[in-house]
Chain A
Amino acid sequence: MPYTEAELIPLSALQHLLFCPRQAALIHVEQLWAENRLTVEGMHLHRRAHEATDELRGDTRIVRGLALRSLAHGLVGMADIVEFTPNDETRATTLRTTPLRGLFQAVKAEPAAWQVTPVEYKRGKPKSDESDRVQLCAQTLCLEEMLMVKIAEGSLFYGKRKRRTRVLFDAELRATTVAAAERFHQLFSSGVTPPAVYSAKCDNCSLISLCLPKIAGRGLAQQFLNRQFSLALSMEAPRSDPDDHEESA
Chain B
Amino acid sequence: MKQHLNTLFVTTEGTYLAKDGMAVAVRMEKKTRLRIPLHNLDGIVCFGRVGVSPSLMAICGESGVTISMTDAHGRFRAAIIGYSPGNVLLRRTQYRVADDPSKSCEIARIMVAAKLANCRAVLLRAARDSRVESRRSTLTTAARRLVTNLEAARACDSLERLRGIEGEGASTYFEAFSAMVNVPEDAFQFTSRSRRPPLDPLNALLSFLYALLAHDARSACEAAGLDAAVGFLHRDRPGRPGLALDLMEEFRPFLADRLALSLINRRQISASGFTTSPTGAVNMNDATRKTLLKAYQVRKQKTMLHPFLQEKTSVGIMIHLQARLLARHLRGDVDAYPAFVWR
Let me know if A243 is at the binding interface, CB within 8 A.
yes
Let me know if B85 is at the binding interface, CB within 8 A.
yes
Chain B nearest CB: distance from A51 CB in Å?
A: 18
Let me know if B338 is at the binding interface, CB within 8 A.
yes
B86 with A32: CB separation less than 8 A: yes
Let me know if A6 is at the binding interface, CB within 8 A.
no
Identity of the chain B residue whose Cβ is nearest the Cβ of A33 in the assembled complex: B86
Let me know if B27 is at the binding interface, CB within 8 A.
no
Residues of A within 8 A of B339 (CB): 225
Let me know if A248 is at the binding interface, CB within 8 A.
yes
The docked-state distance in angstroms from the alpha carbon of A233 to that of B334 is 24
Q: Which of A85-114 contact B (CB under 8 A)?
A: none
Identity of the chain B residue whose Cβ is nearest the Cβ of A191 in the assembled complex: B89
Which residue in B301, B325, B329 is a CB contact (below 8 Å) of A249?
B301
Asked if A217 meets B333 with Cβ closer than 8 Å, knowing A232-B343, A233-B150, the reply is: yes
Q: Which of B292-343 contact A (CB under 8 A)?
A: 298-299, 301-305, 307-309, 313-317, 324-325, 328-329, 331, 333-339, 341-343
A30 with B305: CB separation less than 8 A: no
Convert B108-142 into 0s and 1s, putting 1 for each residue whose CB lies closer than 8 angstroms to a CB of A: 00100100010011001101100000000000000
The docked-state distance in angstroms from the alpha carbon of A241 to that of B118 is 12
Asked if A241 meets B314 with Cβ closer than 8 Å, knowing A30-B225, A235-B343, A248-B302, the reply is: no
Chain B nearest CB: distance from A174 CB in Å?
A: 32
Let me know if B258 is at the binding interface, CB within 8 A.
yes
Which residue in A193, A224, A233, A248 is a CB contact (below 8 Å) of B117?
A233
Asked if A229 meets B317 with Cβ closer than 8 Å, knowing A216-B333, A224-B308, the reply is: no
A212 with B342: CB separation less than 8 A: no
B333 with A232: CB separation less than 8 A: no
Let me know if B262 is at the binding interface, CB within 8 A.
yes
Chain A nearest CB: distance from B90 CB in Å?
A: 6
Residues of A within 8 A of B262 (CB): 243
For B87, B307, B333, the residue with the greatest tally of chain A CB atoms inside 10 Å of its CB is B333
The docked-state distance in angstroms from the alpha carbon of A134 to that of B331 is 30
Let me know if A179 is at the binding interface, CB within 8 A.
no
Asked if A224 meets B338 with Cβ closer than 8 Å, knowing A31-B87, A235-B343, A249-B314, the reply is: yes
Which residue in B225, B303, B316 is a CB contact (below 8 Å) of A31?
B225
Let me know if A228 is at the binding interface, CB within 8 A.
yes
For B84, B90, B343, the residue with the greatest tally of chain A CB atoms inside 10 Å of its CB is B343
Let me know if B147 is at the binding interface, CB within 8 A.
yes
Residues of B within 8 A of A231 (CB): 343
B317 with A249: CB separation less than 8 A: yes
A221 with B329: CB separation less than 8 A: yes
Residues of A within 8 A of B335 (CB): 218-222
The docked-state distance in angstroms from the alpha carbon of A217 to that of B329 is 10
Let me know if A196 is at the binding interface, CB within 8 A.
yes
Residues of A within 8 A of B298 (CB): 248
Convert A230-244 into 0s and 1s, putting 1 for each residue whose CB lies closer than 8 angstroms to a CB of B: 011101111111110
Which residue in B121, B304, B331, B341 is a CB contact (below 8 Å) of A30?
B331
Q: Which of A191-225 contact B (CB under 8 A)?
A: 191, 193, 195-196, 209-210, 212, 214-222, 224-225
Let me know if A43 is at the binding interface, CB within 8 A.
no
The docked-state distance in angstroms from the alpha carbon of A216 to that of B332 is 9
Let me know if B154 is at the binding interface, CB within 8 A.
yes
Q: Which residues of chain B have a CB within 8 Å of any CB of chain A?
A: 1, 84-87, 89-90, 110, 113, 117, 120-121, 124-125, 127-128, 147, 150, 154, 225, 258, 262, 298-299, 301-305, 307-309, 313-317, 324-325, 328-329, 331, 333-339, 341-343
25 A-B residue pairings within 8 Å (CB atoms): A30-B89, A30-B90, A31-B86, A191-B89, A215-B328, A216-B328, A221-B308, A221-B334, A224-B338, A225-B338, A225-B339, A225-B341, A229-B113, A229-B150, A232-B343, A237-B124, A240-B342, A242-B299, A242-B303, A243-B302, A247-B302, A248-B301, A248-B303, A249-B303, A249-B315
- 7 cross-chain pairs, A with B, having the tightest CB-CB distances, nearest first: A31-B86, A249-B314, A242-B302, A216-B333, A221-B336, A237-B128, A228-B341
